[in-house]
Every structure is written in structure tokens, then in C-alpha cells.
Chain A
């Protein structure tokens, strides 16, 4: 099949109509020649001889009759060793390298290889001549930072192959042939350490998909205890601007207990990516003792970069995540923000003059969002090891109203919902995840029946608070008032967490369990407090102690001292267990 050529017959924004001479396929990549520049584009609709292309660059200067060459390949990413620690744009161009070539600005039409071509990797073969292999089988390994990077049979080789040659252990670049494989028809294929894979096609080279049951620890109390996320699960963080979505994502990218973190900065502020870019190389990963950047990849297509590439960027990110999952690793993909991605779809849909759905989003919005989140998952690979891709996406709903199409479509498919509230962020209660509106379908690290009791107390405390606004403190009974104080106490000492405090910013599950139990003792206790005044004073004192206690190192001398003081305070006032708080839960 010959490679098709074409000519531009129409230009409308970043959508270009091309008359094609030969066959052309949907999602095929093409290059449009403008002077000396070649602009990358993707076929998004075909009508007779005309193909409609979305161009990943600005289209100024394009004219009728400009030549277009098609590649017969779908939009793909390069997979191989050397991806970790890199910063790519939505099309996998390494941005620092681009800066070396072009200076301050992103010149259009410049595409660079994603992987370092001259770097030598220490290859250790694991197959021998005569072995039979198929796609995704490991041929050998190279060390990449702290991981053992599996060199696999490319996923796009669909036959069974006999290993004809395999290079001995030694140093090779990604372009060196490491193996020769013979297919069933006797053709010999050279295999190197890298290959390409289309981004919009999920990598599914595993034996089976498993249920996401293991919690992914984020070291945020509110998340781990109340709204847990599972390895291989999905969650979303919708919130109005200024509610702390990005800070939450940054904290998670630092502390999450996974092997690899991929940050997809999709259509958001460039300044925020810069913080990650400049800070991560300096930060030390407590688990490995190495720089955090060694386990991180950043896909960065900020708001002023071309829209079509923004649409591609989340797919690029999830494909890289799936690739590392094939090595038995746990990967976390943080997409900030999926609304910008949905808006990119809306812009293209508008140019295609499709019939619009709600708020002019395309009708396929829901299914596209669903199929993206479905690429997450915990799997057992063919060799028996397990790996996972967890996806956490922020949503930026217009006007902070969750009743909009992107939030609603996302809520249908995710396993946990961390809704941020303007009220809480205005009151400087961080993380601003709303404790009553949010939910999670995953199992947490703590005993669920106990966290449910805590949640019901927050709920009842909130009810009392609302009531108090009407009837005043005087009209509230002492028992109700204590429930209100208990709810407020949980919020202040457990839900809120100071992400700028060196100790409080990441709390191990061990510590979470420990302090949860102490807190549980307080909130379920029948307390000997006879006046509202004394109740308030007692709770405020306890709160102050508890906050100090949260700020000291786990099991240090101060920690033990504060703990004994807290326990003493409880002992002084606690007379027993308030069964009504526990029983209430049983009825529900």
C-alpha cells in the first residue's frame, strides 16, 4: 500500500480539509508542508476524497494546494528505556531539548525524538536462541533509575516468533538491534529496545484484569481514611477555581505510595507545571532516597499550547502509564484538568459542525470520558506479576457547579469522588474535600464500620450546626451541642491537614490508624460536660493539643508526651461510651 499524498483544499482554524489521492485511514497522522515547516496533523473525518485533519499547531500561513503527506500510522508514542524523569509536550516532544534547539518559544513544526538516542543501556538478555516468544514477552532487561525496565517484544507483532538471535549482555543504544525474531512464515524481524504504539489504543497485554482492592496510600488522612483510592482504581477531583485542586494533585504526586507518577498538565497554567519542574528534582523520595524526578514523568500541554495537542496529551500520558504497568509496576496518572481536555474536544466538534449536545459538548463526550478512565486497572501480567494504572483526574466545572456535563460524565465512571468546596477553601480548611458530598467505592486502610461512625458524627454535627444558625446556641440542647463540637473536632484535627507542615503533610497509615483510634475514643465517648461553656473550652483545649500532636514526628518524645496529655484529658471527662452514636449507625 503506497503512502498517500494530498493537497489542502480548505482551512478553518486548526481544521484543514485535504483532497487525498489514495487510501487514507481514520486517526492517521499526516504532515502538511508549509514552506520549510512540516506540521503534524491527525485525520478526524473522511468524506469521499476529502479528509478532515486537525492540526497540532497554529495554521497561519497555510494555503490552498499545500502538499500533505500521510504516514499510514496512527498518532503514536515511542516506548522504551529513558522515559522516566522526562518532560514532554502532548505529542511526546521533550520540552527541555526543544528549548535547547529553539530557545524561549515553542517553534511550530519541530518534532524531536522522545528517547535519548545515544545513551547506552546495560542490557541483560533473559531469552535464548530457539525460545518461542510473542508480543509483550520479555527479551531482556535494562536498569532505568531504580527500576528494572523490561525490553519486550513489541506489542504490535501479532504472530508467535522464534528467537533467531539475541545479543549478549552489554551496552546498547535504543536503536541497536537486540534480537532477531522469526515469524511463522519465516520472515525475520529486527527488534530494538524501543517501538511505537498508537495512543488511542489501550495496551492490553495481560492475562486478566483484577478488581482494585488494595488501597493506594496518599498519606492524606481525609482520603485514606474516608474516601480511599485503590491501586488500579479511578477518582476525580472536581472543584471551582482556587479550591486547591492543583495543590492536592501536587501533594499526591509527591506522597502517593506507587512506583511511578505521571503528571499530565493538560490545558492548565504553565506556572504550576514550572513549580513541579523545578522542585521535583530537588525533592527526595522517602521510599527510594533518590530524587522524586526519577520516578516521575510530566506531560505538559498548558493552556496556551495548541488545542489539538491538548486533546492528545491525556492519551499520551495513559499510554506511557500502561507501558510501565507491563513491567509489573504501580503507576499513578494525575490528569489536571480533564475539563480542558473535554473543551478541546468541544472545540474540534464545533469546527466539524457536529450537532452539539449539552453546553455544546459533543454527544460522544460521555463515552470518550468513560473509555479514558477504563484504561485504568489492576492487572495480572502473563508472567504472573501484578501491575496497575490508577487515574486521578481533576475537573474544573464552569462556575463551580457540579451539575455540568463533564463532572456528571466523570462521576458515572470513577470509583471515588473527592468534591472540593469553595466554602471549605474560603474557610482555609484544607484539603477542601467536602466530607459529606464526597464518596468512595473502594476499601480503605481503616476499619470501615468505625470510619462510618465518624462520618455519621460529622453529618449529625453539621445538622446541629445548621439548626443552631436558626435557633441560636441557647435553643440547642447540651447533647446536640456536644455532637456539634465532636463533628467540628473531627474536622479540625483529622480532616484538615497542613500540606505546608513538614510532618503533617504526609501521614503514614500506621499513624493514621493510631490517632484515629484515639479520636474515636473521644467522639464516641459519653462525656461529663455539664455546660456548653465548659464543653467548648474542653474541646478547644483538646483540639489545640491534638493539632500540636499532629505536628510532631511519629513516636518522638514530644509525640509521646502530648499523647499522654491527651489521654489524660480524655480520662478526666469520659464516663463511658455513647451507645446512641454507635447504634444510630447500626440502623442505617
Chain B
């Protein structure tokens, strides 16, 4: 029988302290307040003083409330019943479905032995040409979507969730606007992808501590599915909210801030989540796609900056499109050589021409006279943006490559493309 403690010594922010014995670091407790029950976990032990972080926040907690220790760390139920369900950051149902309590697994487990990792080798097809053709997503890759607030990053994630060729999707929402949460839910439901998706959602009005739990709980579940042979795609939105939650909690706990108020371990904290991306030899894999909104479009802001050092490239979302220049998938070389022989050549060729187009656009805006070549490039730019870059385009890789050739043939003569002759002979569309 677990002892119940009914004297809370101090309450500061989300942290309460009680005097208790035999408590373990990281242990979970249940706090019963007049507003209902909340979970809390032990974040500091000092003699018999136990500091607990209350998931639903310290607001309304009274010194006379009861604290009952559960004798185990934070756990989440794991089974196939998770599919199609929606939970809060602390694993409680938010879709009126039953609470899941069987087969509990711990969250935030140990990291994968680097010696057991393998060189990534499989592409994940998303049906978006800007990803598949130009910056292929690779199984076990971790990639952020760098975006300014206001860009349609959630729409992009939802599209990827519906179109990506994976076995299951885990969507972790942090600080989501309630509307966005409903958007995800409705879109996936309509698109028929809800049945292969599990949601862990923290909305902006939910207690801040639950925001911190979202990546861990999502990744713990993903890891178990991956070990069972599933190809899992974890979508996290938005990691900047997660970092801000960390900042908020660190500051209220009087930790010394390092850069712009963020805690000194921001890098390690982000890395321990992103590094969960892995390809288990002989089993499944975890691929992570996270959104990082950049305050003020500033890539040197601590969150995108630290993220960039951790992840294997990034997608830049700008003006509603995946920007081809800032975006980079570091692992694309591992896979785009095996898709179709024209993949790499076409990728390079089209991007070079698009870059040339941008120069012409600039020249035009400055009022210079347009040469024939400029006119061709401008035409190409318009078609390229419409047929390739638009986020609503959904075509398989091969279709996108064929389309690429068509666009080139529509705008240029073969020599003008700068592509190698053998490629041109083989793939140039005959009219």
C-alpha cells in the first residue's frame, strides 16, 4: 500500500515539494486537487524533500492536497489499439475513447548503440516532387521543416501524413492551436489516414508540462512499433513550442539561462529526441519530421540553430513552397542513385535552371531588357513553380521525373539544358 502525503510544503510555478521517504528520482505521483487529479513526476530529491513537477500545472493546487506516489516512472500503454486514437501529452484519451492501461512501457528510454546503426538506404516516397525529386526523405532520417509562422507547415505535415509510404504515423502536437488540432483530425479522417495514425496532442491551452512529454511519449511508442517491424514516421509540430516550454520551466526553476533565456542543455535535450530516429537492422525504422518555426525568420535563433546541428538537413518552407536552395537532405545521395538513372542529373539540371530563372526575375524587376534566353527562363520558372513546387501536387517520383522532362522540353532546346548528351538521348520527350 502506497502512502499518501497530504502536506505540500511549497508551490512555485508548476513545481510542488513534499516531505517523503523512499521515493525514486523520476517516479510518478498523482496529485488530487479540488479540480481533479493530475500526474506529477519527481524532478529533484534533496534529503526527504521531494520536488514534483505537476503535469496540469500548479494553479489551484493547495497545500492541503493529497499526493500519492505510484512507485514507477511515467509510462504509456502500448498496443495496436493505439492506432486511430488521440491522446494528451500525458497519455490520456482526448477522443472520448477508452483509457488504455495494458502493456505499459516506459518513456525516454536509453539511446541506440551507434555500433548497431546501419547506413540509411531506403527512400520514403511522399508524392511531393520537391521532396521526392529534389531532397529525398530517407528512412531513419531526422529532418526539420524550418518555417516562419504563418506558413502552411501544418498543411504540409498533414499532406505528408496522408501520402507518405510508411506503415504508420505518429503525430506529436506541441502548443497547437485548437483549430490546428481539429484541422489535423479532420484532414486525416477525410483522407482516410486516421486509422494508421496515433495522435499525441498538446494544445496551446493545455498545461505546459504536458508539452514536454509529447516528443518522449510519441517516440517511445514509435520505438516499440519500429522494433515490431513497422516503418514509422513521427511528425512533430512545433519543436519551437517544445523548446519554449523547456525555457519556461527552466526559468521558473531558477536555472541559469544560456542563450536568449533557453536552458544550457537545449542542444542535448533536442538531440536526445531527434536521435531516436533509427533504422533497426532486421526490424522497422523511425523517421522524424519536425516543424521548427523560426521567430522572425532568423535561422541563428537558438532553436533552429541547435536543430540544424542535430538534424540531417532541413526543408525551408517559404512563401508556401519548399524552397529548393535553403533545403537540403543530407542523406539523399544514399538513395537517389538507385531510383532512376536520370534522377540525379535531372535534379541538378532543373535546379540550376531555376536558379538562372531567379536571376532573370531579378533583372526584370530592375527594369532591364529581357533577352530571348531570359524569356525562356521566365516561362520555365512559372511552369516549374506551378507543376513542381506547389504543395498540392501529388505525383509519384517517376511521374515527377517524366513531368520534369516535359517541362524542360516545353521551355528549352536539349542543348540549352546543360544536361549530359546520353541522358538527353534517352529521356528527351519526342514531339
Q: Which residues of A contact B331 (CB under 8 A)?
A: 271
A212 to chain B, nearest CB (A): 30
Chain B stretch 163-199: residues in CB contact (< 8 A) with chain A: none
Contact A303 B310 (CB under 8 A): yes
Chain B stretch 108-124: residues in CB contact (< 8 A) with chain A: 108-120
Binary interface encoding of chain B residues 10-42 relative to chain A, with 1 for a CB under 8 A from any of its CBs, else 0? 000000000001111111000000000000000
| Stretch from B78-86, B239-247, B250-258 contacting the other chain | B250-258
Contact B48 A64 (CB under 8 A): yes
A346 to B259, CA, bound (A): 12
Contact A307 B112 (CB under 8 A): no
B76 to chain A, nearest CB (A): 15
Q: Which residues of A contact B114 (CB under 8 A)?
A: 87, 95, 270, 273-274, 277, 300, 302
Contact B300 A270 (CB under 8 A): no
| Stretch from A54-62, A142-150, A578-586 contacting the other chain | A54-62
Q: Which residues of B contact A344 (CB under 8 A)?
A: 268
Chain B stretch 257-292: residues in CB contact (< 8 A) with chain A: 257-259, 263-265, 267-268, 271-272, 275-276, 280
Q: Which of the four size classes fits the interface of chain A?
A: 35 or more
Complex: chain A residue closest to B277, CB-CB: A271
Contact A61 B111 (CB under 8 A): no
Interface majority SS (helix, strand, loop, mixed), chain A: mixed
Contact A303 B271 (CB under 8 A): yes
Known: A307-B265, A398-B302. A105 touches B112 (CB 8 A): yes
B263 to chain A, nearest CB (A): 8
Q: Which residues of A contact B116 (CB under 8 A)?
A: 99, 103-104
| Stretch from A9-17, A224-232, A516-524 contacting the other chain | A9-17
Known: A64-B48, A399-B300. A347 touches B268 (CB 8 A): yes
Q: Which residues of A contact B26 (CB under 8 A)?
A: 59-61
Is the CB of A63 closer than 8 A to any CB of chain B? Answer: yes
Is the CB of B99 closer than 8 A to any CB of chain A? Answer: no
Known: A63-B23, A347-B268. A105 touches B113 (CB 8 A): yes
Is the CB of B308 closer than 8 A to any CB of chain A? Answer: yes
Q: Which residues of A contact B308 (CB under 8 A)?
A: 240-242
Contact B255 A350 (CB under 8 A): yes
Chain A stretch 72-119: residues in CB contact (< 8 A) with chain B: 87, 95-96, 98-99, 102-108
Binary interface encoding of chain B residues 64-90 relative to chain A, with 1 for a CB under 8 A from any of its CBs, else 0? 000000000100000000000000000
Q: Which residues of A contact B24 (CB under 8 A)?
A: 60-63
Taking each of A60, A344, A346, which has the highest tally of chain B beta carbons within 10 Å of its own beta carbon?
A60
Q: Which residues of A contact B97 (CB under 8 A)?
A: none
B93 to chain A, nearest CB (A): 26
Contact A302 B264 (CB under 8 A): no
Count of chain B residues with Cβ under 8 Å from any Cβ of A?
A: 56
Is the CB of B46 closer than 8 A to any CB of chain A? Answer: yes
Q: Which residues of B contact A274 (CB under 8 A)?
A: 114, 117-119
Known: A307-B268, A356-B256. A61 touches B25 (CB 8 A): yes
Is the CB of A401 closer than 8 A to any CB of chain B? Answer: yes
Number of A-B contacts defined by CB within 8 Å? 165
Q: Which residues of B contact A184 (CB under 8 A)?
A: none
Is the CB of B206 closer than 8 A to any CB of chain A? Answer: no
Q: Which residues of B contact A356 (CB under 8 A)?
A: 256, 258
Q: Which residues of B contact A99 (CB under 8 A)?
A: 113, 115-116
Known: A10-B46, A95-B113, A398-B300. A304 touches B118 (CB 8 A): no
Is the CB of A340 closer than 8 A to any CB of chain B? Answer: yes
Contact B119 A10 (CB under 8 A): no
A267 to B114, CA, bound (A): 12
Q: Which residues of B contact A9 (CB under 8 A)?
A: 46-47
Known: A64-B21, A347-B264. A398 touches B113 (CB 8 A): no
A269 to chain B, nearest CB (A): 7
Contact A401 B113 (CB under 8 A): no
Is the CB of B359 closer than 8 A to any CB of chain A? Answer: no
Binary interface encoding of chain A residues 231-253 relative to chain B, with 1 for a CB under 8 A from any of its CBs, else 0? 00000000011100000000000
Contact A63 B276 (CB under 8 A): no
A27 to chain B, nearest CB (A): 22
Is the CB of A566 closer than 8 A to any CB of chain B? Answer: no
B265 to chain A, nearest CB (A): 5
Q: Which residues of B contact A359 (CB under 8 A)?
A: 258-259
Is the CB of A360 closer than 8 A to any CB of chain B? Answer: yes
Complex: chain A residue closest to B307, CB-CB: A241
Is the CB of B390 closer than 8 A to any CB of chain A? Answer: no
Is the CB of A572 closer than 8 A to any CB of chain B? Answer: no
Contact A360 B111 (CB under 8 A): no
Chain A stretch 368-402: residues in CB contact (< 8 A) with chain B: 396, 398-401
B216 to chain A, nearest CB (A): 12
Contact A58 B110 (CB under 8 A): yes
Is the CB of A305 closer than 8 A to any CB of chain B? Answer: yes
13 contacts across the A-B interface (CB closer than 8 A): A59-B25, A60-B24, A106-B112, A241-B308, A303-B275, A303-B310, A344-B268, A346-B264, A356-B258, A359-B258, A359-B259, A360-B257, A398-B305
What would 12 more interface pairs be, CB under 8 Å, given A269-B275, A302-B111? A9-B46, A95-B115, A98-B115, A102-B113, A105-B109, A105-B111, A240-B308, A242-B308, A242-B328, A398-B259, A398-B300, A400-B300
The list of the 5 closest CB pairs from A to B, nearest first, reads: A399-B300, A303-B271, A304-B275, A60-B26, A360-B258
- Show the binding face of A for B, using Cβ within 8 Å: 8-12, 17, 58-65, 87, 95-96, 98-99, 102-108, 240-242, 267-271, 273-275, 277-278, 300, 302-305, 307, 340, 343-344, 346-347, 350, 353, 356, 359-361, 396, 398-401
